[in-house]
Amino acid sequence: MSEIRVGLGEFAVSVEKGGGIKTFGLGSCVAVVAYHLRTGTVGMAHIVLPDSTGSVRGASFLPGRFADSGIPALFDEMNRVTGTKGRYVVKLIGGASVLIVSPGERKIDIGKKNILATKKAMWKRGLGALAEDLGGCKSRTVSISVGSPDVSILTGGSLRSVL
């Protein structure tokens, strides 16, 4: 049984029975978690920033870093691995208000921007989330196991919820 750990800006897909995917320290970032209904394959992207407009090299080097490149990269890989576009259960977690930048008088909540950009990128692919655990002000650890659509969310070391 192996667990794939997804870092900042990374994405992964797993088909290994008994395996799973996990990401840690999800603050203003958004985890996009996908479950393929027919095969039980799971995928996760750790979205760090809303879009790759100012960083074309970054999107090609680490597409999972941005919502506009991470969503297509995750689902293209899911489709490749499963051999079908299939049907997915998608869940969104994160986007907390832990990083607020204040250029001048204007405050920019990166968590909210990540949530909106992630949803927009999903809508462009005809996808929507079945469940969400978004916002707040605490970081989360998120995991999913192959063969189950249940997503475990830990906050402060204790189980917060299962989506």
For residue 95, give the CATH number of its domain: 3.30.1330.200
* Mean pLDDT over the full length of the chain: 89
Which residue(s) pair with 35 in the sheet? 42, 89
| pLDDT at position 121 | 96
Q: Which of 42, 7, 28, 55 is nearest to 117 (CA)?
A: 28
Residues of the chain short of pLDDT 70, as ranges, are 1, 55-61, 99-107
Query: Residue 18: which domain range?
Result: 3-162
Rounded to whole angstroms, the Cα distance separating 99 from 76 reads: 30
Tally the domains of the chain.
1
